[in-house]
Structure 1
Amino acid sequence: MSGLGVEETMALRFEHRGTELGASVVDRVWRTRSDAEDTMTSAARTCWHLIVSRRRGCLLAGLRGPETRATIAPVPPDTEFLGVRFALGTVLRPHPAGSIIDGHVPFPVTDSGRVVIGGDDWEVPTYENVEHFVRRLQDAGLLVRSRLREEEREHPGVAGPTARTLQRRYRAVTGLSRTAVAQIDRANAAATMLRDGHGWRAVVETLGYFDQAHLARALRRYVGRTTRELQGGEHATMSFLYKTHPVPGS
């Protein structure tokens, strides 16, 4: 397991890690537990998540789609959460990303505590065995990795019909445009830099924002926090921020 990390907010302590599957399939695995009822600011994300929660013996599972803006979500008390963030371009065939933009799809759960995906029931993954769960979905043909990266390398800087075809393909696979992916990734990287102690000028210069006002608008829309809040350690409950590649959309 690579890239172990811990991030804390006022009420939630996120533990997260990479996987041996490689970043082309699963971007990150995370878990947390809520001790009290609260609300959480969920930052915009370009990828979809599998979310599993357990509360007082009740198991819930489902997909949370890519999010195009920061939102406020309720956090129930005494609940354990497991999240699997799949890499951009990974496709769960019964539920393409475009069908769950800014949305959530619940999965049926059997009486024996198994989750139903694609008509079959599956053992619910744990933080430790996510890799096994993902490989089984791949073996069943339900989870596939698109050729977005390969197609972009094969047709660099193209224009005309081929470019339009690639753009349609990109949106069909991810549910988002390249521009939206770049803007969301950049805002997440900016928020991470600010929480790591960098000043706004360094963020603007590094990530290519026009000025402080441009950065502030992006943070409000995609992260739901101001520069001052992120720099000052005012960690109200929010989805955890982990480092993205400095090149948006990559």
Structure 2
Amino acid sequence: MRFEHRDTDIDASIVDRVWRTRSDAEETMTSAARTCCHLILSRTQGRMLASLRGPETRASTTPVPPDTEFLGVRFALGMVLRPHPAASIIDGYVPFPVTDLGRIVIGGEDWEAPTYENVEHFVRRLQVAGLLVQSRLGDGEHVTEHPGASLTKRTLQRRYRAITGLSQTAVRQIDRANAAATMLRDGLDWRTVAERLGYFDQAHLAHALRRYVGRTARELQAGDHAAMSFLYKTHARPGS
């Protein structure tokens, strides 16, 4: 499977990336941990399926049906597709009904399915309808340790987890491991990666890669990532 992906003209705080791929034969794929939700459409033998995939807390193996086209929209951290907050679908997904005419039912309304080229139009329509909303994660808000004076650190942490389904620490660890995998794939040695990203040593980096990416540093450097979810440099996001 070869992934094609692109930026959009939508603000990166709303949509981080759009991607597509196609499977030729039945196989499995290693899916790296991720902090954001994906809207995923798949088409096979004239049938379309649609689902919202939640954040994943560790790498997993996913079956891939043959002769299937996939389209994915990666929403930015803090975006909520109502009525399915990320916290409700951690390590899981929610399927959306698809009508006989190939329209996706979200929020009780049916929507024309997006294509790789016109995702922006689809996203903007969901925003106008109030189904896709951006939640505040607490960045820039005044924090105090004194209850009642303002928002406490603990209150902000609870809000963050309620919106994203993850702690800020988990988000940092997952994003850092994916960044490490991208750097290793691009040819950097493990010592440079560990130093730049703050890993203590090779064992610390190796543990993170096994847990969150499902590949070793040697496998990534050797280019053994054809059967895994794509890796790319993501935009800076709130809470990263």
TM-score, scaled relative to structure 1 = 0.91
- Counterparts in 2 of 1:234 and 1:70: CA distance versus 1, 3 Å: same
2:164 paired residue among 165, 168, 174: 174
How many aligned residue pairs are there?
236
User: Displacement of 1:235 after TM fit?
Assistant: 2.5
Matched position secondary structure for 1:40: strand
User: Displacement of 1:154 after TM fit?
Assistant: 2.3
Q: Calculate the aligned-residue CA RMSD, in Å.
A: 1.5
Q: Does 1:69 align with 2:58?
A: yes
User: Displacement of 1:246 after TM fit?
Assistant: 8.2
The 2-side partners of 1:160 and 1:175 are apart by 26
- Counterparts in 2 of 1:180 and 1:212: CA distance versus 1, 3 Å: same
Deviations 1:28-56 (A, max 9, x none): 00000011111000000000000000001
Q: Does 1:139 align with 2:128?
A: yes
The 1-side partners of 2:89 and 2:6 are apart by 25
The 1-side partners of 2:68 and 2:205 are apart by 35
Q: In structure 2, what is the equivalent of residue 80 of structure 1?
A: 69
Q: Does 1:210 align with 2:210?
A: no
- Counterparts in 2 of 1:208 and 1:249: CA distance versus 1, 3 Å: farther
Q: In structure 2, what is the equivalent of residue 7 of structure 1?
A: none
Alignment of 1:96-245 (within 5 A): 96-148=85-137, 151-155=138-142, 158-159=144-145, 161=147, 162-244=152-234
Contact between 2:77 and 2:237, CA under 8 Å: does it hold in 1?
no
User: Displacement of 1:233 after TM fit?
Assistant: 1.4
Matched position secondary structure for 1:98: helix
Q: Does 1:34 align with 2:42?
A: no
Contact between 1:188 and 1:244, CA under 8 Å: does it hold in 2?
no
Contact between 1:183 and 1:248, CA under 8 Å: does it hold in 2?
no
TM-score, scaled relative to structure 2 = 0.95
- Counterparts in 2 of 1:245 and 1:213: CA distance versus 1, 3 Å: farther
The 2-side partners of 1:131 and 1:245 are apart by 17
Deviations 1:91-123 (A, max 9, x none): 112100000000011100111110100111000
The 1-side partners of 2:211 and 2:9 are apart by 33
Q: In structure 2, what is the equivalent of residue 5 of structure 1?
A: none
The 2-side partners of 1:246 and 1:142 are apart by 24
Supply the AA of the counterpart residue of 1:123: E
Unaligned runs of 5+ in 1: 1-11
Unaligned runs of 5+ in 2: none
